[in-house]
């Protein structure tokens, strides 16, 4: 990895007035709710049907569908791209970055998990895994962004370095971001037996020069385990150019190492 310091756990703050993710998530999940006003951490009181997450349905709750299918999602993605440009990109040295195109939504309801309990097979640490176990490249860096107050029972539990197994609950609040090496640092959650609901999203970023070290043949074969989204530019990832401050993606039928031919890219306009 070009910047080994990025594998070190790092907690930092951001401006919630400019990057108003919590409000945008609220509008997506509760914008058409006609009941009494609810904070995000009380979403579970809406009475929507739910099931304990398993490997086969980990993104299949009512709230996941609301997030991914919302007409308000493009506005959140616009702010997300501004966040990448302003807050995340300066942490990386390359002029081009490979960035997860759409952040992954998580919700940790009471008496449930946010990562499926049957991933990892450890009943004490539900969802125990590192991302490399599920096809992600080891040069990725994870960013975890909660929008509600986190407590030990509803948060991410993380080891400080690969193999240490010194798991600690990450007790963050809205306006904070945790950077960690999720490709190799084990992480898990717990059954949320104390409440309240935790709402967050997470995403992955890497230097383009690190991406270029990945075997193209491997990339063509790899996909997200659950939804089979190809781990390629134009599918799971997009390319960010610091100089032009533009996002783009390579044509889906071209996955080539170091391909910078303008004819093989298409700009991603702000939604």
**Model-wide pTM > 0.85:** yes
Unique residue bearing structure tokens 């702010």: 79
Average pLDDT over residues 207-226: 80
Q: For 149-189, write each residue's pLDDT tens digit.
A: 999 999 999 999 999 999 999 999 999 999 999 999 999 99
* The pair of three-digit structure tokens given for residue 246, joined into one six-digit string: 């533009």
Asked whether the beta carbons of 11 and 178 are under 8 A apart, the reply is: yes
Confidence label for 234 from pLDDT (cuts 50, 70 and 90) = confident
- CB count in 10 Å sphere of residue 87: 17
Average pLDDT over residues 252-266: 34
Task: Out of 5-9, 88-92, 103-107, 116-120, pick the least confident.
Answer: 116-120
Start-end of H helices in 187-263: 208-211, 216-221
Answer whether the bond into residue 196 is a cis peptide, omega within 30°. Answer: yes
CATH numbers and ranges of domains, the chain: 4-268 (2.60.120)
Is 166 exposed, middle or buried (CB count within 10 Å of its CB: 0-12, 13-18, 19+)?
exposed
Measure CA of the first residue to CA of the last residue in the chain; give whole Å: 32
Asked whether the beta carbons of 222 and 235 are under 8 A apart, the reply is: no
Asked whether the beta carbons of 108 and 192 are under 8 A apart, the reply is: yes
Start-end of H helices in 152-268: 208-211, 216-221
SS3 211: helix
Give ∠ CA 32-34-35 in degrees, rounded to 5: 130
Q: For 132-141, write each residue's pLDDT tens digit.
A: 988 899 999 9
Average pLDDT over residues 223-234: 72
Q: Where are the beta strands (DSSP E) in 93-175?
A: 96-100, 104-108, 141-146, 157-158, 168-169
Average pLDDT over residues 250-269: 36
Residue environment code for 186-207, b if the CB has 16+ CB neighbours within 10 A, otherwise e: bbbbbbbeebbbbbbbbbbbbb
Average pLDDT over residues 86-105: 97
SS3 209: helix
Output phi, psi for 172, to 5 deg. Answer: -110, 170
């Amino acid at each position: 990895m070009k910047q080994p310091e990025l594998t070190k756990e790092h907690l930092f703050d951001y401006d919630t007035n400019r990057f108003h993710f919590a409000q945008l998530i609220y509008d997506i999940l509760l914008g058409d709710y006609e009941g009494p006003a609810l904070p995000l951490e009380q979403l579970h009181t809406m009475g929507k049907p739910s099931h304990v997450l398993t490997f086969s349905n980990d993104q299949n709750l009512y709230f996941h569908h609301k997030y991914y299918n919302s007409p308000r999602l493009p506005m959140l993605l616009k702010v997300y791209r501004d966040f990448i440009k302003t807050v995340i990109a300066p942490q990386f040295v390359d002029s081009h970055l490979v960035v997860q195109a759409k952040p992954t939504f998580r919700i940790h309801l009471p008496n449930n998990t946010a990562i499926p309990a049957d991933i990892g097979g450890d009943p004490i640490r539900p969802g125990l895994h590192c991302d490399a176990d599920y096809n992600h490249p080891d040069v990725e860096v994870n960013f975890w962004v909660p929008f509600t107050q986190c407590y030990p029972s509803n948060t991410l539990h993380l080891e400080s370095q690969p193999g240490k197994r010194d798991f600690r609950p990450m007790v963050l609040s809205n306006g904070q971001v945790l950077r960690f090496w999720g490709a190799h640092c084990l992480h898990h959650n717990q059954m949320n037996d104390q409440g309240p609901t935790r709402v967050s999203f997470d995403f992955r970023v890497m230097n383009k020069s690190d991406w270029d070290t990945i075997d193209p043949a491997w990339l063509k074969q790899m996909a997200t385990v659950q939804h089979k989204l190809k781990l390629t530019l134009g599918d799971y990832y997009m390319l960010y150019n610091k100089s032009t401050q533009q996002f783009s993606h390579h044509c889906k039928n071209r996955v080539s190492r170091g391909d910078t031919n303008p004819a093989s890219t298409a700009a991603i306009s702000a939604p």
